[in-house]
Amino acid sequence: MYPKNGRVIFHVDMNSFYASVEMAYDPSLKGKPLAIAGNPEERRGIIVTCSYEARSFGVKTTMPLWEAKKLCPQLIIKTPNFERYRAASSGMFDILRQFSDLVEPVSIDEGYVDITESKDLGSPLFIAETIQKRILEQLDLPCSIGIAPNKFLAKMASDMKKPMGITILRKRDVSRILWPLDVGEMHGVGKKTAEKLDSIGIRTIADLAGSNEIQLKALLGINGARLRERANGVDSRPVDPESIYDFKSIGNSTTLPRDIANQQELLKVLDKLADQVEARMKRKQVVSTILGITIRYKDRKTINRSHKLDNPAGRKEEIVEAAKALFIKNWNGNPVRLLGITVTGLMEAESAVKQLDLFSYEQEAEKEHLVQTVSKLKEKFGKSIIGRASSHLNQQGIRKSSGNDTSFNKDFLQNKKQD
């Protein structure tokens, strides 16, 4: 049951987490189409998550609430309760740590567990069944578990049976089970990457596994070689409980041509710095969860201040808004010699998960009328009547930057190692 050389890794993925937590809190909601969204009284907002019963009607995450209600008139709407979700998440990870010290949280509702040294607790399948049963009995929450020799295969396996599934995926099963799938179904391959791969004839995971590494690197950079390895079932990443705190950074600073005390001039400098930071983030295809600024005064006294973002940011508008607010809050009015912006808490933009929080779902709701108007235009004149300007530029052979609107909620770490 345990390999002589190698590891046994679980990926534990909670099923329809926010909705499931609400059902555990109020059992009368079980078996009913339920969605978590904002402003249900005004039929405004965005679906944060929904139950499997709601999904059977076509309701999906990030769908405008008005559209979800159109698909499922009997849909029950609850507003998010993140204190409740954080408590459930904490309980889930506490259970996982009963089986191994090697538990790596990935988000509020999923994580990896290395049970290689847990042989005395039973077979991998027995441990997975015990974890699943314990989470259900103690928290009244369903989960799916993938069992594999590495993190990538464990993640792929956990997605195969939902809800309440347990799937074993061995490396020898890769060619039979994974290779026939569309490359877009592979973990780590987002929509944009799938489109790029399609442009060179890579449409299935098998195509990716057998692709030319040099061609991939030219197309996707270092990520191309990494994806090719994963398509062949290779992933050497360890399960690291501390990895979630290993924040790398991207930053830009500038020494001003003269000491400046005019606020408007200083804000313009921050605007230019945000441009540079955004460009570097796009090249690396990452988003940030923490933003910091550096202010050095005429007397060379230097202060550094950082702020955890409500949702990960990658666009200049998000970066400069946070930077300006942080600057205004901390600048003492004295002449400034140097300014800098640094982003940390980086994650891959393609794999970031959109889990809207109490702030962002309201912002998304503001777009509702626009979404509704566009939807009506498409119904009347066809889907191609309106598209993104970036798509039009791409058709003309103009390379666009890899902007990203996805968000990822890591506020379950608020009591961890975080400023």
Q: Binding site for Mg(2+): residue ranges?
A: 13, 109
**Measured between alpha carbons, how far is 407 from 109 in angstroms, rounded to an integer?**
15
What SS3 state is found at 292?
A: strand
Give catalytic residue positions. 110
Distances (CA, A) of 29 to 25, 26, 144: 9, 6, 21
Would you state the structure tokens that stand for residue 412, as one six-digit string?
Answer: 């379950």
| Contact (Cβ atoms closer than 8 angstroms) between residue 327 and residue 272 | no
Residue with tokens 């230019």: 272
Burial of residue 333 (number of CB atoms within 10 Å: 0-12, 13-18, 19+): exposed
**Measured between alpha carbons, how far is 274 from 281 in angstroms, rounded to an integer?**
10
Strand order of the β-sheet with 47-50 is 47-50, 34-37, 76-78
**Measured between alpha carbons, how far is 303 from 330 in angstroms, rounded to an integer?**
9
Residues 6 or more apart in contact with residue 214 via CB below 8 angstroms: none
C-beta neighbour count of 373 within 10 angstroms: 11
β-sheet bridge partners, residue 342: 251, 292
Taking CA 160 as the corner, what is the angle to CA 155 and CA 164, rounded to the nearest 5 degrees?
95
- DSSP result, 259-270: EE--HHHHHHHH
